[in-house]
Every structure is written in structure tokens, then in C-alpha cells.
A and B are shown apart, each in its own frame.
Chain A
């Protein structure tokens, strides 16, 4: 972290509430770096988050106006903020349990309306804070607390969901691709259109320990080995990353 960028974080709440090696921290790092490199006006930025580990990325760590809302309703609150004061830059930064599972309806309708906000989903494939229950993005066959014999259901593909709902700017990166993620966040922050960034953050503690990925570096290497940049062909057995 460049010492000049420390003005964008609330130093008094650090160290973060995340577990060691949490991918949400890497997303926070990329977001602060993006703000710093743009020299972004922190008085004009509102970061809205929901409940869960993902809700803790923006609030309380970022030294901007943060809004910590009810479970799943982050985009609903962000819609109100944007409509009340269209001059504000509004970013929704929350988890997959919040945006895909409980607030899935708000997400697809924000995409349908092409609401001029940025939605960043810290997707760790699980409900981390409440003890590791399966969410709508838990991969098929993955072990969680509520699916001890492997998840029987197929997961939501967040990129296809938002793309299908009518969004123009849809991206996916993993915590391993932190630099590409930072560049995409910069692009989204200066734009006045609907941007959706699905960030595969990974949860070494709740997801990893039940799926043989307990070591944070093992989790990052798994993301690196299984991801592939999207070039016209969408492969179902890979984590497709890039712009869609």
C-alpha cells in the first residue's frame, strides 16, 4: 500500500476483521489502489454494502461515505442514493450471499435498468460469516457445512446472469489477478454506466478447509490454474475471466 493512499482508509479500524489470507482483503487493497491512482474525490463517493463478510469490505475500512445496509438490499439503497443525488459516485461492494442469493432480484433489475452505479461482488462461494453454509454460487460437488456430502445443486453463473439481464459492462477476475482487477475498478469508477465486476475472492477458512484449499496460497494457485481469459468461447469447466 502506497503511504499516500492511506488517506482512503480508516486507519483506526485496522487490522481488518478478515481472516488471514482472505480474498476480500485483496479486493479492498485493489479498490484503495484504484482510488489512489485516480486521485479520486473521496467526498463525492458513496460505498454501499450489505451484510456478511463481503459487507465489511467497504464499511468500515474505507474513509469515504459508507452505508451498511440490511441483508441483500445494498443495491436497493444504492438506487435511492443515486436517484436522490445523481452527482454522487455510487459503488455497491458486497458478497455473493448478499448480491446473488438474498438480493438477486435487485441485482438483475439494476442490470435491466442500467442504473449508473458500479456493483462489485466479492464472490467467495459461501456464507462465510455465519459458519459456511452453501450459497447460490457454491460450485456443484463442493463440501460446505450444509452440504457435507457435496453440493447437489448447480450454482448461479453471476456473469451470465447479469449479462442476460441486460448489462453492458460485465467483468470477472479472481483475487490472484489483483492488478487487472484494479485497472477494471478504475475504468468503472470514472464511467457513468452500470458496471458489474464479479471478483472470485475465495474463503480459505470456511470454504477452503472443507475442500482441501485451507492454505491461502493454495487457494490463489487454484484460481490461477483453473482460470482462463475469455476470448469468444465460454468454457464451462474453467473460471472464465476478463471482459464479457
Chain B
């Protein structure tokens, strides 16, 4: 099971609750600032995500979506 971590860059305000709550350390601070001058987060290690939804449930700006991806067939 793999998950896609989508962050809406224009909604994020950079409170870093997701970065602190994530048990697998998926998030990092982004290298650049967004158009409002905020250092937002980025999903640096998306493959580590286990889909616990801690970040999505606690995001005060509703900016994070965790989307379950179907396992690709090996064939």
C-alpha cells in the first residue's frame, strides 16, 4: 500500500504541526517560500507514509490530502 501526500501550497501557513506529528518523518521544510512569503512544508519522504492521517486530521488549514494509491501489479 502506498500513499500520495498532497499539500495545497497556497493554503499552507507553515505551522509545522504535520512535521512534528508525523510518526515517520515524511515532511521537511520547503527550500523556497511560497507567494505569500511563508516557508511551507513539502513531503520529502512520501514513500515512508503509512497513511495514519495524523497530519491530515490536525492540519488547521485543511491543506493536506492523503490519497491511497492502488498497488501496481508486478506483471
By a beta-carbon cutoff of 8 Å, the part of chain A in contact with chain B is: 1-3, 9, 14-16, 18-26, 28-30, 32-33, 175-176, 178-179, 182, 216-217, 220
Contact = CB atoms under 8 A, between A and B. Distances in A.
B47 interface: no
Contact of B65 (A3, A14, A18, A20): A3
Contacts of A15: 10-13, 61, 63
B20 A217 contact: yes
Given A2-B56, A18-B61, 11 more contacts: A15-B11, A15-B63, A16-B11, A16-B61, A19-B13, A21-B13, A26-B58, A26-B59, A28-B62, A178-B57, A220-B58
A217 B17 CA distance: 6
Contact of A25 (B16, B20, B21, B61): B61
Interface string B2-46: 000000001111111100110000000000000000100000000
B57 A33 contact: yes
Contacts of A26: 57-60
B62 to A, nearest CB: 4
Given A1-B56, A20-B14, A179-B57, A25 B65 contact: no
Given A2-B65, A3-B65, A14-B11, A29 B16 contact: no
A20 B67 contact: no
Q: Which 8 A-B pairs have the closest CB atoms?
A: A25-B60, A21-B15, A20-B13, A20-B15, A217-B20, A1-B62, A15-B11, A178-B57
Contacts of B15: 20-21, 216
Interface of B: 10-17, 20-21, 38, 56-65, 67
Contacts of A32: 62
A29 B17 contact: no
Nearest to A16: B61
A25 B67 contact: no
A37 to B, nearest CB: 12
Contacts of B65: 1-3
A152 to B, nearest CB: 32
Contacts of A19: 13
A22 B57 contact: no
Nearest to A61: B62
20 contacts: A1-B56, A14-B61, A15-B13, A16-B11, A16-B60, A16-B62, A21-B15, A21-B16, A21-B60, A24-B60, A26-B57, A26-B59, A28-B60, A29-B56, A29-B58, A29-B60, A32-B62, A216-B16, A217-B16, A220-B17
Contacts of B13: 15, 19-21
A29 B20 contact: no
Contacts of A20: 13-15, 38, 60
Contacts of B10: 15
B59 A29 contact: yes
